[in-house]
Structure 1
Amino acid sequence: MFQPRDSYRFPFTSYPAVRLALLVMAGILCARLELLSGLAAAAVAVSLLLLTLLLNYAVRQQLRFELSGHLSLSYLLFIFSLGLTAGSYQLERHQAPRPEIVLGELFPADTLRWHGTVRDASLNAGGTLSVILQADSVMSADGALAFRHRFRTQIRFFRADSTQVASLRNGYQVVIEAVPAAITPRRNPHDFDVAQWLHGQQIFVQATGGHAATVRPAPAFVSWGWWRNLMQDSIDEVFSPEQAPLAKAVMLGHRAGLDAELRQNFSRAGLAHLMAVSGMHVGFLLLPFWFVIPVFWRMKHGAWLGLGCIFLLLWLYAGITGFSPSVQRASVFAFFVAMARLFRYQRDPVNLTGLAALLILLIDPASLFLIGFQMSFAAVLTIFTLLPVLQRLFDPKKRHLWYAKLTSLTLLSFCIQFALMPVLLHRFNEFSLIGPVMNTLAAPVTQVVFIWGFAGIFLSWIHGPAAAFLTLPADWLALLLAWMTTFAANVPYAFVQGRLDSLLFYPFWIALFFALAASLQPALRFRFVALCLCCGLLWQADVLRQKIAEASGVQLTFFDVGQGDAVLIQTPLGRAYLYDTGLWSPFGNSGDRFILPHLKAEGIRHLDGIFLSHPHSDHIGGLLSIMREIPVSLIYDPGFEHHTALFAGYRTAARELGIPVVTPQMGDVVWLDEVTPGFILGPHPDIRSTNPNEHSLVLKLRYGTQSVLLTGDAETQAEELLSRQFGDWLNATIYKAGHHGSRTSSHHVLLEAVQPDIIVVSNALRNRYNHPHPDATSRMRNYVPDEHLHYTALDGAQIFRLYGDRTERVMWRE
């Protein structure tokens, strides 16, 4: 006789805190629909609470068990209404007068007086002082009140002097004269999204500072700012100047003093979380206390005493690290774990995770939409659900051995990396492959630096020189940690750079996670494997759809590199070229900052050619970095000699790397691929000027009936000869304005021949050359409407796709 397979039902009753957290999340999400006001949602919650109490009385006191189902439903709806109420009130708070609207629209270029308290101040290697100010009010120059609501803002002081640094410390009440500025969105598709990060910190307006004056320093002992300053100064006292910035990052999450290259190495080695105070740091903090918990068990009311000590310790650490969202989440979770151990409750980590999430969401519903909150709880849940499955692969009799514990630690790191991989690729276009191994090696070193460092800080308050001497081992370990990180980041294939081809990868990844977690449940195993396969097919189908669309045309990316030029050309047959490589400055170059991250995120591992318009540093600035990082088949050079170190360095590097440098002539045809010809239209041989701009390499690309004209920095003489030589044949769909919109370029004689449909101007906002010039802008507006005149300074990078019979603009920010 046929016997049906036993069905599996998820044990929701075993995870009440998770169930409650999910209901609160659903309520917060529903609040986004703005169906009810905060007051109305609160009234609904109170009504449901009264109904739940009445039903509970009827069931328990009058034994009316037929109402049990109604009681459960009423209880669940009440929890849902709590999330709805919290979310509705949070939305109403955000509908209050917004500083970015009031200050940005009414005082867009005025110097205002900002009154408030410094919450954080950091000076980077470039001399820029960044101040996070809890503003109380903003006054106009004539003393009138411009804005009177508490809000957070970031004020930046470029080339800050020692007086500004000394007067803007944590906890100081200050008055700052600064000009408000809107937070700019990402400049290029694969740049770090600073705007999103600032919004996550509840900062919606920036300002550029000038003068700052201290009204009152941070009060001693009673101000968190005073304690943060004390801790940072103590670290400077006990650690060497070389290792103090790393010690501050590891112990306090203060990363401002770290070298940019070292921060990148931490990210590529999968160790970036060591510099952001999180659950690992809170665990380090509680580790010494964990061993003395049995002492509290032997004391009368010892459990309550121990819980009070743990609360005080967590509260103090959260305070000196600025009450960051990550340390708040970790502290709440650690508090519940410690409470369970002190009172000898059976600890269910999944339930504790749900309880921590529930408490945080009720206090701050906006946390649900922060990437840090999502990543933290995704990692924790992954550890508690996936790690036991992986540990089953090992013999239970050998799990206590040292190598088994080392393997478990590696598996723990693997679980975290596994959970965060799609988020890291989506948000940062980078994922560390060496991370699980490096976390196993670096975590113990970091733990010793953390604990020993704090011991040295406390000792320094008694005897500074002795503390500095006794902290030398921690200083050496910090040096070892930096060396390990740098070594790991430079190991071949230590990390991969790429992008998430489709958002459908998320459901596939979640299904894969559940399939692995359910591998020990026969009744669920097949279902989740089938779901994983279905999601994988949908993901690959969407990726295929995108590739077919991309392969049917030429894609041009006009990078926003500031006051410079760089254009990426991707052909239908998969080849990639650059036209110019951006600018160079003492603080970096466009190759390292913008172009290489974009190429790697797009999966471009080889350049078929680089066209250099002319040898100025704002056009070849990123060339050396690009040549040394990825293979380049050929460089097209206009042939104009330029006696600069940058130009000589590129020529030398090309010889050393075996990259051919050719000088094409006017009239040559360069086939970018079998269906995409490129026509060399300049420099004209009759030009006798010594100005390198006039010798710019002019390139016209054609694909079907669509075309693009790139003229570099060609000026008056070059444009006249170009128009006279080629006339209407210059007609192009897209014209990149010559010389960044300078008055000496984009003359009527050229624009009349080109008759562009779209014009792109590459320049920096408020540049010292005052580009684009009003005369050039006026001329260009005679040929294209304003909606087809694009400035990288205002709109960021511009991406267009030529399909042969039409051209479409890619709205990458959407």
Structure 2
Amino acid sequence: CDYGDIIEVHAALMIPMEQKNPGAFDYKEYLKSMFGVYACMYPRQSEQVKKIGENPGWLLKFALVLKKKMICIIKQTIPHPQSAFLGGVTLGTRGGVPPQMKFEFQATGVAHVLSVSGLHAGFIAALFFMLCLLAKIPPRPRWFVVTCGLLIFTLITGARPATVRSALMYSVMLLFNTFRLSLKTSTSLTIPVTAVFILSGIIPDITSPLLLPSASFTLSYMAVWSLCYLTGPVQAFFETYIKSWTFIVFFFWVFFFTTVASVNFDLFYNKFFLEAVALTLILTFIAAGALNKTKPLLGLAVHKMPPSLYYLVQFFYAQFAIQLGMMIPLSALYFHRFPTAGIYANFIAIPLIGFIVMVGFLSGLIGAFFSALSLAPVGALIALYLNAGNYWLCNIFMGVAHFFFKAFRYPFMPTFKTSWMFSYYAVILLIVCYKPVLEFFADVRHRLRYLSREELFMRFSAFAAAILLFFLLYNYKFKKEKTENFRAIILNIGFGNSNLLTTPDGKHVLVDTTQADEGDFNISNLAAAFTFYQIGGFSDLILTNLKPENTGNAAAILPYFPTGKVFTAYKPEDILKKMAFQKFLDFLGDETLKEKWDTSYVQNLYDNVYYMRKVPLIANKDFSEPRGAGKIFYSRKGVPLYAAKRGDIIYSSLSGGSEFMIKVLWPAEEKLAGTPDDLANNSIVLKATYGKFSMLMPSDIMNEAQGEMLKYYKPEELKSDILIAPFHGNMSACLAEWYEAVSPKVVIIPYSYLKGWSFAESDINPTLEKCRELGAKVMRLDKYGAVCVTSDGKNVTLESVKKPIEAGAGEASQEDSSDVF
């Protein structure tokens, strides 16, 4: 089957996967907004798919045949992975680009070149325009050729909204220019430019209104908007203020922050450093302003660079505008990370990608053209000569991305709140409209001169009353009363454990980090949840055991989210001791693991501990904080490691007149041995209490550890309002007496099926039956998604990311995905 053919499919109709965690990718919403798809089918055999009709569109057929021939030419003339990269940037076929290359592009802010958009459409328009000039084609036929070229390019690359919108914009702008319809090319708010901009955005989205809130629409549209409307104000700002001594100070600080970001990014997590830098920055700009008046340095400004650098200066203004209008706020909103290297990498990448796209597309067209004339070897030879140079351009581009990837950090960013985003773009709009705003205030000031004192008093009183009323209404409507709540997010990421706790006094504690995965989706989902709640670090990280499903992402999280302490169930000196693989298994003492020593599971367990040491972790007795002036330039080079044992209090505070505490109930000083799973049975068991509320987090302890806990604790010491089912709700961790002692009102089961990791769903049936006997409400993460537990010390609120599809024995019904007790 080819694209556009009509097919008949026999398979189950399924709802697409929904969002499972706060801030995570929502595949269901993505399909709905991008393609208008509301359901999926997954045929497993070729017999389930039958072709019943041909693609009726001749133009689309032509475009797809041309695309196949161009792909063949690229593969014949350039080796992998350069061919995969070239196919991605010219034809939108990025499936063959290696994952590591994609990640490096993302980290350096040049990943946009793999997503065919307005930038690529502009290069294709420029290519056809130059070909028309070489062929001496008159202006009006030239417009037709360029527009047809853009149409074919749009169809070849999949007619994505960003490409359709850009192709339409370039065609309309060229139309105005060709037929002399007075299109102005300045960045001021002229009617023709505004009309082109609005039409190019509205027309493609009339047929796809669901695209409006999507990332692809917002990013591409805001990039073009920034170029059109922010470049002018940015240029005016630099020409007016960044000159003479201020020019020197500005670029000194650019160099300073660049150096810190590449040499020691951790300094940005040091509040003393940031406060000292902020004060110094203000003082240097004040001093520069004073020197500008007394001893100005004439001719030192960005706009007074040599004429040969004119286009570089204009490109600098455009890049600055895009960073302000699109990259800074929207990177945090959609990707939760900010490519610090992108500001610099794009200065090389964007001019370079222009040559790569135009040469690659031209070579593909030539190869396809000669192939249609039955002269395929001739076309392939010409394409080979063209792509011989393009091969080196591709290498340079990939080398630049790799260099900046190694030189700069790719940090996570807190997601902008709605109020932050509104305030940010309100300021941006004021910058764009600064001339009309200044003219308005100048006019008001002129008019006020002719008013009497009584009239001025009346008008200012009315204005002050309006401002006061606005703030009163804002505080009443939007300003929520600050409440000191405890919040626990039980995340649903793979077949692993991860609980995100926020204490009543605003500290953050992370319990476990779920298992790592090949595509880094789990760390991305964890980071999305952290940034969604504006979490930049943790006071404590508690790794309840060393199993891969509990520690898998610890080594990846610690460098990006500063952490005060790390707790495990083992002595720090034992964890930090360098051990060979076999000695490490002897240290754990779990005979089951020794028997399975050659499995990937045991290898992952060893690797996780090995990479955590590299963070590095430091034994708490060897860790010390700096004092005095040393705090300013101090960047933590390691995280103190502690051992948690029964009776320890990891965190405590007094909030709202109630005591909050996270206490360790298990393991004992002497570890359990000889059980079916010693690692699980020696897990750290935590109990969080706040006023009358309590929540038990038993990690993976099984029946053996549960029995030992019953010997040590009275039932009232174990009793809790919320219980996270131990060992994902498995029947081997469902001791009836222990559940009765805990006597929970709600049981959250962190179960999700994951091939190669999880056990059968039927293994949680005994746990469900026991919950039904106790009258406890059950919330399974595979049906509810992540669950949020909030308590003020008296009442408890439970909310889930999604509503459950079905309810089994002892489980809550669909209507109970949010509850209060």
TM-score (norm 1): 0.70
Report Cα offsets for 1:691-722 as digits up to 9, x if no partner. Answer: 22222221111122211111112111222222
Matched, 1:416 2:322: yes
- 1:682 aligned residue: 666
Separation (CA, whole Å) in 2 of partners of 1:537 and 1:256 = 52
- 1:175 aligned residue: none
- 1:331 aligned residue: 167
Alignment partner of 1:548 out of 482, 494, 502:
482
> Mean alpha-carbon deviation: is it higher for 392-401 or for 183-192?
392-401
Matched, 1:508 2:352: no
Report Cα offsets for 1:74-100 as digits up to 9, x if no partner. Answer: xxxxxxxxxxxxxxxxxxxxxxxxxxx
- 1:561 aligned residue: 493
- 2:120 aligned residue: 281
| Residues 542, 707 of structure 1: alpha-carbon distance in 2 compared, 3 angstrom cutoff | farther
Matched, 1:620 2:551: yes
Separation (CA, whole Å) in 1 of partners of 2:140 and 2:751 = 64
- 1:717 aligned residue: 704
Q: Say which SS state the counterpart of residue 431 (structure 1) adopts.
A: coil
- 1:253 aligned residue: 92
Alignment partner of 2:618 out of 651, 655, 659:
659
Alignment partner of 2:69 out of 230, 235, 259:
230
- 2:502 aligned residue: 570
Separation (CA, whole Å) in 2 of partners of 1:653 and 1:372 = 36
| Residues 602, 488 of structure 1: alpha-carbon distance in 2 compared, 3 angstrom cutoff | farther
Report Cα offsets for 1:120-141 as digits up to 9, x if no partner. Answer: xxxxxxxxxxxxx8765444xx
Separation (CA, whole Å) in 2 of partners of 1:397 and 1:716 = 74
Report Cα offsets for 1:290-334 as digits up to 9, x if no partner. Answer: 3466689x87xx444223212221111111111111111111111
Matched, 1:734 2:709: no
The offset of 1:472, in angstroms, is: 2.6
Q: Say which SS state the counterpart of residue 112 (structure 2) adopts.
A: helix
Q: Say which SS state the counterpart of residue 763 (structure 1) adopts.
A: coil
The offset of 1:793, in angstroms, is: 1.3
Separation (CA, whole Å) in 2 of partners of 1:734 and 1:307 = 68
Separation (CA, whole Å) in 2 of partners of 1:581 and 1:507 = 33
| Residues 608, 509 of structure 1: alpha-carbon distance in 2 compared, 3 angstrom cutoff | closer
Alignment partner of 1:194 out of 20, 27, 32:
27
Matched, 1:668 2:654: no
Matches within 5 A, 1:308-457: 308-347=144-183, 348-368=192-212, 370-392=214-236, 393-394=238-239, 398=304, 401-420=307-326, 421-457=328-364
| Residues 400, 667 of structure 1: alpha-carbon distance in 2 compared, 3 angstrom cutoff | closer
Separation (CA, whole Å) in 2 of partners of 1:397 and 1:638 = 62
CA contact (8 A) 2:702 2:732 kept: yes
Separation (CA, whole Å) in 2 of partners of 1:270 and 1:586 = 22
Q: Where do 5+ consecutive residues of structure 2 fail to align?
A: 184-191, 240-300, 368-375, 445-462, 571-587, 595-601, 620-640, 804-821
> Mean alpha-carbon deviation: is it higher for 671-680 or for 231-240?
671-680
The offset of 1:451, in angstroms, is: 1.0
Q: Say which SS state the counterpart of residue 744 (structure 1) adopts.
A: helix
CA contact (8 A) 2:538 2:562 kept: yes
Separation (CA, whole Å) in 1 of partners of 2:199 and 2:544 = 61
More RCO (CA 8 Å, sep 6+): 2
> Mean alpha-carbon deviation: is it higher for 668-677 or for 345-354?
668-677
Q: Say which SS state the counterpart of residue 289 (structure 1) adopts.
A: helix
Separation (CA, whole Å) in 2 of partners of 1:713 and 1:494 = 33
The offset of 1:493, in angstroms, is: 5.6
CA contact (8 A) 1:800 1:809 kept: yes
Alignment partner of 2:785 out of 788, 793, 796:
796
CA contact (8 A) 1:353 1:377 kept: no
Letter in 1 for 2:718: L
CA contact (8 A) 2:360 2:390 kept: yes
Report Cα offsets for 1:423-467 as digits up to 9, x if no partner. Answer: 432233233444343333211110111011123323444343553
The offset of 1:571, in angstroms, is: 1.8
Q: How many residues align?
A: 636
Separation (CA, whole Å) in 2 of partners of 1:687 and 1:381 = 64
Matches within 5 A, 1:751-790: 751-765=739-753, 768-771=758-761, 773-784=764-775, 788-790=777-779
Percentage identity across aligned positions? 17
Q: Say which SS state the counterpart of residue 196 (structure 1) adopts.
A: helix
CA contact (8 A) 2:161 2:204 kept: no
The offset of 1:536, in angstroms, is: 13
Separation (CA, whole Å) in 2 of partners of 1:629 and 1:495 = 6
Matched, 1:637 2:568: yes
Report Cα offsets for 1:638-669 as digits up to 9, x if no partner. Answer: 34545644444444455551433443332333
Letter in 2 for 1:696: S
Letter in 2 for 1:245: A
Alignment partner of 1:305 out of 127, 141, 149:
141
The offset of 1:743, in angstroms, is: 1.0
Separation (CA, whole Å) in 1 of partners of 2:469 and 2:394 = 44
The offset of 1:252, in angstroms, is: 1.9
TM-score (norm 2): 0.70
Q: Say which SS state the counterpart of residue 176 (structure 2) adopts.
A: helix
- 2:42 aligned residue: 208
Letter in 1 for 2:501: I
Matched, 1:519 2:434: yes
Separation (CA, whole Å) in 2 of partners of 1:490 and 1:731 = 51
Matched, 1:181 2:14: yes
| Residues 650, 280 of structure 1: alpha-carbon distance in 2 compared, 3 angstrom cutoff | closer
The offset of 1:285, in angstroms, is: 0.5
The offset of 1:808, in angstroms, is: 1.9
The offset of 1:516, in angstroms, is: 0.7
Letter in 2 for 1:346: S
- 1:98 aligned residue: none
| Residues 367, 568 of structure 1: alpha-carbon distance in 2 compared, 3 angstrom cutoff | closer
Separation (CA, whole Å) in 2 of partners of 1:672 and 1:641 = 33
Letter in 2 for 1:511: A
The offset of 1:617, in angstroms, is: 1.9
Alignment partner of 1:468 out of 384, 391, 394:
384
Q: Say which SS state the counterpart of residue 226 (structure 1) adopts.
A: helix
Letter in 2 for 1:341: N
Separation (CA, whole Å) in 1 of partners of 2:19 and 2:536 = 24
Separation (CA, whole Å) in 1 of partners of 2:549 and 2:473 = 41
Separation (CA, whole Å) in 2 of partners of 1:651 and 1:369 = 42
Separation (CA, whole Å) in 1 of partners of 2:650 and 2:718 = 17
Q: Say which SS state the counterpart of residue 494 (structure 2) adopts.
A: coil
